[in-house]
Structure 1
Amino acid sequence: MVTVEIVLLAMVAAFLGLRLYSVLGKRTGHEQEPVARPAMEERQPAVVRQPVGQRETLAPVPTMDSPLADSAAQSGLRSIANADRTFDPALFLEGAKSAYGMILEAYWKGDKDQLRFLCDDDVYESFAEEIDARLARSETLENRLVRIDEARIVNASYDHPMARISVQFDADIAALVKDANGTIIGGSLTDAIETHDIWTFFRDVKSGDRNWKLDETDTV
């Protein structure tokens, strides 16, 4: 009798097992479609974000072997890029060229407010003294930046938290000086003069101010 019960129970268990397999092994039409996932090499790495209010952490710093910079500047550019992941030598150089033109225009026109915004205190004071001396002589400048032939990063350094980058500007400038009566006393607007300047810009990369300021001027 016991043997018969065991056989019957085994048959019931086998029957339930077959029923369970038929349900789990077949789609009923109500299952969620599996999400297709790209192959590992096709997946894009997620951007790591810092807490709200802090700057986003970007991709690892690229090698700064920029064709826009001399070899002597490469190490400094890498240090700056390590400190500021948003730094781009090409974008910096475009901004430096704009600043070069703006500062020259402000100096020629005697715009001290513009110069104070774009230059550090020492450079500003030097420009301001020249402007005052020019006004004392009742002279005016009608200079014009004809073109920038080349702008190149020649040096760069990072001394926490200050970044400094020196740029050589090879440009053509037309210069004209007039006296109080409007008489031309020097220069010409038709004959441009070749100039070769090295300007050094600086910025505190840990501050919220994204503007670079002129820190030093020199000629080649």
Structure 2
Amino acid sequence: MNYSFEYIDIILLAMIAGFIFLRLRGILGKRTGFEGKASPQFEEIMKNINPEMKINKKNDFDENAKKDFLKGAKIAYETIITDFGDSDNKLTTSKPLLSNKIYDQFNTALKERGKRGHLAEITFIGVNSANIKEHKFLGKILQVTVEFVGEVITCIRDKDKKIVSGDPEKIKKIYDTWVFSRDTSTNNPNWQLVDTLS
């Protein structure tokens, strides 16, 4: 009896199982709410969003600084939107990314939502584009305005699980203009969201 064919069958089955696992993870792996901890990728990128933010003689970002910043800004955008859509109506992961003013605004909106007995369901699909609209110094404070185009699936349900707004089956395109800020006079490399214009 030749066992070589059995080994080939086992290898082929293992490859098929691996392919199916990767496909399922790609489809089911999207976040639909707060998972309890910021990803290591997010923490690493936020740590390395070029603390110097190199500005050239024309008062513009160099290309590497721009890429690094936008990479972190996209992750911050997803983190904040996902956290805002979390069903417990509390801000957790995104709190360090928000200025006191924005945190208070978001928190007030979440409390109002909770009082009405409403729950948000948000599935973040992705960022279609993120572009730096402008940047400026206010003394030692550097502010960067970013225009985002993202895609989400979102709906609001009441306490009886009936849909109040949105559509759980429809992908919605969202347009946001967010202003991030950092104090360049400190060693703290972190940026915070200080304003939103939808």
**TM superposition score category, shorter chain reference:** 0.5 to 0.7
Q: 1:158 aligns with which of 133, 137, 149?
A: 137
Aligned partners of 1:151 and 1:188: how far apart in 2? 25
RMSD: 2.0
Aligned partners of 2:69 and 2:127: how far apart in 1? 16
Moved beyond 3 Å, runs of 4+: 61-64, 75-78
Deviation at 1:175, TM superposition (A): 0.9
Deviation at 1:147, TM superposition (A): 1.7
Count of residue pairs the alignment pairs up? 142
Aligned partners of 1:111 and 1:209: how far apart in 2? 26
Give the greater-gyration-radius structure (CA).
Answer: 1
| 1:124 equivalent in structure 2 | 103
Q: 1:207 aligns with which of 163, 176, 186?
A: 186
**Cα gap change, 1:172 to 1:164, in 2 (>3 Å):** same
Deviation at 1:171, TM superposition (A): 1.1
Give the structure-1-normalised TM-score: 0.60
Aligned partners of 1:160 and 1:203: how far apart in 2? 11
Aligned partners of 1:182 and 1:62: how far apart in 2? 51
| 1:32 equivalent in structure 2 | none
Aligned partners of 1:98 and 1:138: how far apart in 2? 29
**Which residues of structure 1 form unaligned runs of 5+?**
1-60, 65-74, 82-86
| 1:101 equivalent in structure 2 | 78
Q: 1:77 aligns with which of 60, 64, 70?
A: 60
Aligned partners of 2:154 and 2:55: how far apart in 1? 42
**Which residues of structure 2 form unaligned runs of 5+?**
1-53
Query: Identity of counterpart residues, as a percentage?
Result: 21
1:59-92 CA-to-partner distances (Å, cap 9, x unmatched) read: xx6758xxxxxxxxxx5535xx7xxxxx811100
1:26-75 CA-to-partner distances (Å, cap 9, x unmatched) read: xxxxxxxxxxxxxxxxxxxxxxxxxxxxxxxxxxx6758xxxxxxxxxx5
Give the structure-2-normalised TM-score: 0.66
SS of the residue corresponding to residue 114 of structure 1 reads: coil
Higher normalized contact order (CA 8 Å, seq sep 6+, divided by chain length): 2
